[in-house]
Structure 1
Amino acid sequence: MSDQRKRTGLGALATAGADEDFSVIDAIGGPRGVVESMLPGVVFVVLFIATNDLNLTIGVSAALAVVQVLARLVQRQSVMGAVSGLIAVGICLVWAWKSHEARNYYMLGFITNAVYAVLLGVSLAVRVPGLGLVIEFIRQLPTERFGAWFHGWMDDRDLKRAYMAITGLWLGLFVLRLAVQVPLYVTDHVAALGVTRLIMGIPFWALAIWVSYLVIATPLHRHKASAAAHAAASHEPPAPSPSAG
C-alpha cells in the first residue's frame, strides 16, 4: 500500500479520485487509530461516573495515554498520531485537574471547535473555501508561484463549488457540536457531555469525511486529469516547420 493511501483525515481527501478506492476506516486512522482516539475519553467518562473520583480518573486516563505511545514504540510503529493524541489528552487532563472540575476535560474541544467554525465561516464569507485551501495545500505545496497555484483550483468552477459545499458541511459539524455540548457543560451534566462528545467525535468525523469524498471525488479527479493534460501539452516539442520547396 502506498504512503498516499495511508494518509488520514483531509490528507486522504487530497488523494481522492473518482476512479480510486476510498476507505473511511483508513481515512480516520484505521481500527487501531479509532480505538486509540476514543479509549481515553471512554475511560475518563466511565471511570468518573463509576467512582466520582476526579484524581483517580485523571491518573488512569493519563497512564492509558502514555501506554498507547509506549506500545507503538515497542512495536516500532509510527507514534506521531499517538503522541499528538497524548498531548491533547494531557492538556485536557491538566485543565480538569487544575480547575478541580471534570467538565473542564472537554474545554479544549470547545475552543478548537469554535476556532475552526470561525475560520471556516470567514472563508465562506470571502468565497475562498477553507477546506479547499487545506486540501490543495496538502495535494501540492505552493513552494513557488503562489498565484498560479491558487488560481489553478479556484478558477475551476466545479471544484470550487465542491470545496464550498464541504466547507459548509464541516462548519455545520463544528457548530452542531457546540450547540449540543455547551449547554451540557454549562449545566454540569458531565456524564451526558462525555457520552455526547464520544458520539459526535469519531462517528461524526467519519461521516463528514465520507460525504466530503462523495462531493469532491469527481470534480477533483477531473481537475487532476485536466492539469495533467495541460502539463503534457506544454512540454510537447513544437511541430516541425514545412521544408522549403
Structure 2
Amino acid sequence: MSDGPHDPDARDSLREILGGRRGALDASVPVVAFVLVWLPAGQLQWWSPVGIAAGAAILAGVGVAVWRLTQGRRPRAVLFGLLGVTVAALVALYTGRAEDFFLVQIFSNAASALVWAISIVIRWPLLGVIVGAALGQRTRWRRDPDLMRGYQRASWVWVAQYVVRVAVFVPLYQAEWVFALGAARVAFSPALVALSVVLSWPALRSALPADHPGIRHPRVPAAPAGGPTVDGSPTNG
C-alpha cells in the first residue's frame, strides 16, 4: 500500500501516534476534582478549601493511575502524570492560593514552547524524534532532507499551541479566575492538542515531493559499502 505524502493511511498513522486523547482525559480528571471541591469549600467557608481541593485532586490522580495500570498502561507514563498532579497540589498547598494549582502547567507550557523551538533550530525537531521513535526508525529520518524539513514545519505547529496556551492561561491566572482556569484546562487544552494533530499532517506533507515514499520510509542517501549509517547500523558490503 502506498505511503506517499498524499496517502490517508500515513496521515492516520501520524494521528494515531500524536493523538493522546486518553492522556488528555486522564490529566483533566484531577483538575475537575480540584475545582469542583474548591468552589463549595470556599463558598461554605470550610477549613482550608485549598487543602481539601488539593487532597481531592491527588486522590483523583491516584484513582486514574490505578485504573490505567489495570488497563495495561505503561507505568512510567502513569507515574509521571501522578507526579505532575502531586506537584501542582503541593504548590497550591504551600502558597494557599487556589490559582497556584495551575502554575506548574503554565511553566511547563512555556518551557515546552521553548524546547520545541530550540529543537527545530538545532535540526532535531521533536516531532521527528517522537514519530521516528514510534515507527522504529531511530534517527534515519534525519538523513532525509524532505522529512527533516517537514518535521521542522510541523513542529512549529506545536510551538504555536504551547504559546497560545500561555497567552490564555497567564491572564486568567493573574485575574485569579480559578474556575475559568479549570474550564480552560479541561476544554481548551485538549482542543488545542487535537487541532495541532490535525494541522501537523498538512504542514509535514507540504515539504514532501509527490514521489516521496512517506513518513514510514525515509529516503536516505546510500552509505558506502560496509560503512556505518548515522544511526549506527552497519551496511552490508
Give the TM-score taking structure 1 as reference length.
0.70
Paired letter, 2:36: V
Name the counterpart of 2:160: 172
Q: CA deviation at 1:174?
A: 0.8
Structure 1, 175-184 or 159-168: larger mean CA deviation = 159-168
Q: CA deviation at 1:224?
A: 4.1
Note if 1:78 corresponds to 2:66: no
Higher helix share: 1
Map 1:1-245 to 2 at 5 A: 18-20=8-10, 21-22=12-13, 24=15, 27-29=18-20, 33-52=23-42, 53-73=49-69, 75=70, 77-80=72-75, 81-126=77-122, 129-138=125-134, 139-142=136-139, 149=140, 151-153=142-144, 156=145, 158-216=146-204, 219=208, 221-222=213-214, 224-225=216-217, 227=219
1:158-214 C-alpha deviation (Å, 9 max, x unpaired) = 323321221211111111111111111122121112212222322211221232134
Where 1:222 maps in the other structure, the secondary structure is coil
Paired letter, 2:214: R
Cα distance in 1, alignment partners of residues 168 and 78 from structure 2? 28
Cα distance in 2, alignment partners of residues 22 and 126 from structure 1? 26
Where 1:71 maps in the other structure, the secondary structure is helix
8 Å contact kept, 1:41–1:194: yes
8 Å contact kept, 1:54–1:100: yes
Cα distance in 2, alignment partners of residues 113 and 224 from structure 1? 29
Q: CA deviation at 1:134?
A: 4.1
Where 1:188 maps in the other structure, the secondary structure is coil
Query: Runs of 5+ in structure 2 lacking a partner?
Result: 1-6, 43-48, 227-234
Cα distance in 2, alignment partners of residues 27 and 176 from structure 1? 19
Q: CA deviation at 1:54?
A: 1.1
Cα distance in 2, alignment partners of residues 165 and 76 from structure 1? 35
Cα distance in 2, alignment partners of residues 29 and 216 from structure 1? 19
Paired letter, 1:115: A
8 Å contact kept, 2:141–2:148: no
Q: CA deviation at 1:87?
A: 0.8
The alignment of Structure 1 onto Structure 2 pairs a total of residues equal to 209
Paired letter, 1:77: G
8 Å contact kept, 2:92–2:99: yes
Query: Runs of 5+ in structure 1 lacking a partner?
Result: 1-16, 143-148, 238-245
1:221/1:96 CA distance change after superposition, 3 Å? farther
Cα distance in 2, alignment partners of residues 79 and 196 from structure 1? 27
Paired letter, 2:58: A
Paired letter, 1:37: A
Instruction: State, as a whole percentage, how many aligned pairs show the same letter.
Output: 23
8 Å contact kept, 1:24–1:206: no
Paired letter, 2:30: P
1:221/1:64 CA distance change after superposition, 3 Å? farther
1:82-106 C-alpha deviation (Å, 9 max, x unpaired) = 3221111011001111111111111
